[in-house]
Structure 1
Amino acid sequence: MNEGTLAQALKHSVVVHDRQAIEESIARMSVRIRNDFAGSVPVYLTVMHGGLPFAAQLALELGARGLDLEFDYLHATRYRGAQSGGSLHWKHRPATPLRGRRVLLVDDIVDEGHTLSEVRAWCRSEGALDVRIAALAVKAHNRCVPGLTADYSGLVVPDRYVYGYGMDYHEQGRNLPAIYALE
């Protein structure tokens, strides 16, 4: 299918995970994160733009379970609206000092993990004591960057073009309340 409108994409897509399944997985994930970060106030780094819907929902679940967070964000991309990635381009680095801190990177998906791998390495180079990754979805394949996995993940998605709940279809559909896959 050629790049087109979101309406066209939806006609050729199936729902992989509906809103209820997404929200239930985020609630389950929040328990483990709260337990692992108990006694600390982690720097909660949302990876923009895709991580925003998931990060907001996860933050509320963590707050409901008594875990305080220090919010910041980063914007690093390899895609720039394309379907395949290139070199990492930083649009915004976090302003919060990471030296001596525990960091939770929050993103929409771990596909092959190149972006998250580079961002995690950057956080470590800034002196973070512990850098963990929370991803709403993990793509089902074996092409991930060696050594990169999500420490906390909610859902598995097929090895197809997926969009919705933060993930985009050519910069469209990030605010869809479900995850779709092109057929």
Structure 2
Amino acid sequence: MGKNNVFTNDIKEVIINEEEIKQRIEELGKEITNIYNDDDDIVMLCILRGAILFMADLAREIDLPVVFDFMDVSSYGASTESSGVVRIIKDMEENIEGRHLLIVEDIIDTGRTLKHVIDMLQTRNPKSIKVVTLLDKPERRVKKEIDADFNGFEIPDEFVVGYGLDFAEKYRNLSFIGVLKEKLYI
């Protein structure tokens, strides 16, 4: 498990290692570069806090000029389940009217929060909205309301941490994606 040995006892298994993450981000960067043109005005919107590592690495793999912005959205209480109420804690600052918006997510679980954010951002008249996610848990979505335009990895319905994803604000700095031992979050 390498650099993060302090957390080794908390991880049931590593499902995506550091090298796999790096390789897939390079591929995503190429895919995204091929979709847009050199003259496109692209705003990369990082959904805080989980997507920050992913966005930093992904942005360096996109061979086009991009503008960064950030949004902090919450739909979780103290538990691991969504409360169903979406709160905008920090809104984005860039005007996206007539611009391409690329929403960068760490994980799409039920998709409800992301759907709410997209619906809200549509009212700001962007030229387009696309979503890139590092992780996708399609079996958690009751309704197929939302799918990513660019998807890093499809994962099973496990509680994962690492590479930006947390439990109680811990484990974000792991260099891999791992399944957290149940005893730690039950």
Common fold: TM-score over 0.5: yes
1:24/1:12 Cα in 2 relative to 1: closer, same or farther (>3 Å)?
closer
Aligned pairs for 1:28-177 (under 5 A) are 28-39=27-38, 40-62=40-62, 66-86=63-83, 87-141=85-139, 143=141, 145-177=143-175
Whole-Å separation in 2 of the counterparts to 1:107 and 1:100:
22
Deviation at 1:8, TM superposition (A): 7.4
TM-score, with structure 1 as normaliser: 0.88
Answer yes or no: is the 8 Å Cα contact 1:100–1:129 preserved in 2: yes
Q: Quote the RMSD (CA, aligned, Å).
A: 1.7
Normalized per residue, the structure richer in strand is 2
Identity %: 27
CA distance in 1, matches of 2:148, 2:82: 19
Change (3 A) 1:58 1:8: closer
Q: Post-superposition shift, 1:82? A: 2.8
- Residue segments in structure 2 that go unaligned for 5+ positions in a row: 1-5, 182-186
The 8 Å contact of residues 54 and 166 in structure 1, kept in 2 or not, is answered as: yes
The residue identity in structure 1 corresponding to 2:99 is: R
Structure 1 letter corresponding to 2:65: D
Query: What is the TM-score normalised by the length of structure 2?
Result: 0.87
- Structure 1 Cα separation of the partners of residues 165 and 41 of structure 2: 28
**Number of residue-to-residue matches in the alignment:** 174
Q: Which amino acid in structure 2 is aligned with residue 53 of structure 1?
A: L
In the superposition, relative to structure 1, how do residues 75 and 167 fare at CA in structure 2: closer, same or farther (>3 Å)? same
Alpha-carbon distance in 2 for matches of 1:150, 1:144 = 16
Q: Output the CA distance in 1 between the equivalents of 2:11 and 2:61.
A: 33
* Structure 1 spans left out of the alignment, 5+ residues: 1-6
Matched residue of 1:78: which SS? strand
